[in-house]
Amino acid sequence: MFDCVIVGGGPAGLSASIYVRRSNLNVAIIEGNMPGGQMANTAVVENYPGYESIAGADLAMKMYMHAINLGVEYIAEYATDIKKEEYFTITLANGETVTARTVIIATGMKHRKLHVPGEEEFTGKGVSWCAICDGNLYRGKDVAVVGGGNSAVEESIYLAGIVNKVYLIHRRDEFRCDKLVLERLKRLSNVELILNDEVKELVGGDSLEKIILKSGKELIVSGLFEYIGFLPSSEVISTLNIVSSDGFIEVDENCKTKIEGLYAVGDIVRKNVRQIVTAVSDGAIAALHAAKCCR
């Protein structure tokens, strides 16, 4: 039996594990993919204090080794279910179970993808889901944004201040966003709207070079930012009745859910700012509260 089991080994989960372990409790992380979460797939991180510029994979590895060197147990499996009776029982994809006195959910969020040819190949080499993080890599270059909501429009405005030109591709002729934001976008001379069209294929060599649209039009760009929605990774807690209709988890100021001993941290939580620094902050808060529960 673990004092604490953390589901998800991104920055939120890794940070939580460090704080739980430093409270002298035994703790395991269950991670179904590589350690580091979305951070590990980020080319360069330039806004994590202490590192002016660091490869996301390097930052992920530093956090992971920090946890492992403290004695955090790492279970490389997907968690498929969590039940609470006297204690928590977490079921893994391989059928095994793990028991814990407290559980911290740190499963993050996955970006909705276009699922077009070339998308996988150029992920991290032109295809991005984070303009704040990666926009600077395209300074002075041409990029495209795809989407029709607030995120797509706001991130296009942000990118227009950095890059040479932004093509905003939307499959309809009207945007689902605040009117004022749209007006701001339309005033920008380096943004071209491409309406009633969709991305068909991404083409390039070592990195993205061209987008082919369904209309046949071709855009020569170095970057494509996808803002077509997010999907919270909440499958593992679907039976616990703590997920709201949109899949995110409501927590209190201690990152505690409405179930005693169950916490949620990072991008899976309902909040406004989803960054590495906010994820690790949540991890620390939940861990210290969970540690109190175990004493």
Ligand X SMILES: Cc1cc2nc3c(=O)[nH]c(=O)nc-3n(C[C@H](O)[C@H](O)[C@H](O)COP(=O)(O)OP(=O)(O)OC[C@H]3O[C@@H](n4cnc5c(N)ncnc54)[C@H](O)[C@@H]3O)c2cc1C
Per CB under 6 A, 9 contacts ligand X: yes
For the chain, the straight-line distance linking the first and the last C-alpha, in angstroms and rounded, comes to 15
Per CB under 6 A, 11 contacts ligand X: yes
Figure out which of the listed residues 6, 7, 20, 28 binds ligand X, where binding follows CB under 6 A: 7
Contact at 8 Å (CB) between 99 and 231?
no
Number of residues that bind ligand X (CB under 6 A): 40
Taking CB under 6 A as the rule, which mask of x and - marks residues 136-175 in contact with ligand X? ----------------------------------------
Nearest-Å Rg of the Cα atoms of the chain is: 21
Q: Which is nearer to ligand X, 59 or 153 (CB)?
A: 59
**Cα atoms in the Cβ-side hemisphere of radius 13 Å centred on 166:** 29
Figure out which of the listed residues 12, 20, 25, 104 binds ligand X, where binding follows CB under 6 A: 12
Q: Which is nearer to ligand X, 36 or 148 (CB)?
A: 36
The CB-of-230 to ligand X minimum distance in angstroms stands at: 9
The CB-of-85 to ligand X minimum distance in angstroms stands at: 20
The single residue of 58, 81, 130, 142 carrying the catalytic annotation is 130
d(C-alpha 4, C-alpha 19), whole Å: 11
Q: Looking only at residues 39 through 98 of this chain, which bind ligand X when binding is defined by CB under 6 A?
A: 39, 41-42, 45, 47-48, 78-79
The CB-of-239 to ligand X minimum distance in angstroms stands at: 13
Whether residue 134 lies in the annotated active site: yes
Whether residue 255 lies in the annotated active site: no
d(C-alpha 104, C-alpha 98), whole Å: 13
Q: Between the CA atoms of 177, 269, 70 and 58, what dihedral angle is there, to the nearest 10 degrees?
A: -10
Share of the chain residues as helix, strand and coil, in percent rounded to the nearest 5: 30, 30, 40
Sheet arrangement for strand 223-226 = 127-128, 223-226, 142-146, 165-170, 191-195
Beta bridge partners of 44: 55
Whether residue 267 lies in the annotated active site: no
The single residue of 3, 4, 81, 133 carrying the catalytic annotation is 133
Category of 221 on φ-ψ map: left (φ > 0), alpha (ψ -120 to 50) or beta: beta
d(C-alpha 279, C-alpha 295), whole Å: 25
The CB-of-129 to ligand X minimum distance in angstroms stands at: 4
The CB-of-37 to ligand X minimum distance in angstroms stands at: 2
Figure out which of the listed residues 100, 133, 145, 285 binds ligand X, where binding follows CB under 6 A: 133
Instruction: Name the residues annotated as catalytic.
Output: 130, 133-134
Residues that bind ligand X (CB under 6 A): 7-13, 30-33, 37-39, 41-42, 45, 47-48, 78-79, 106-109, 111, 128-130, 133-134, 233, 236, 266-267, 274-277, 279
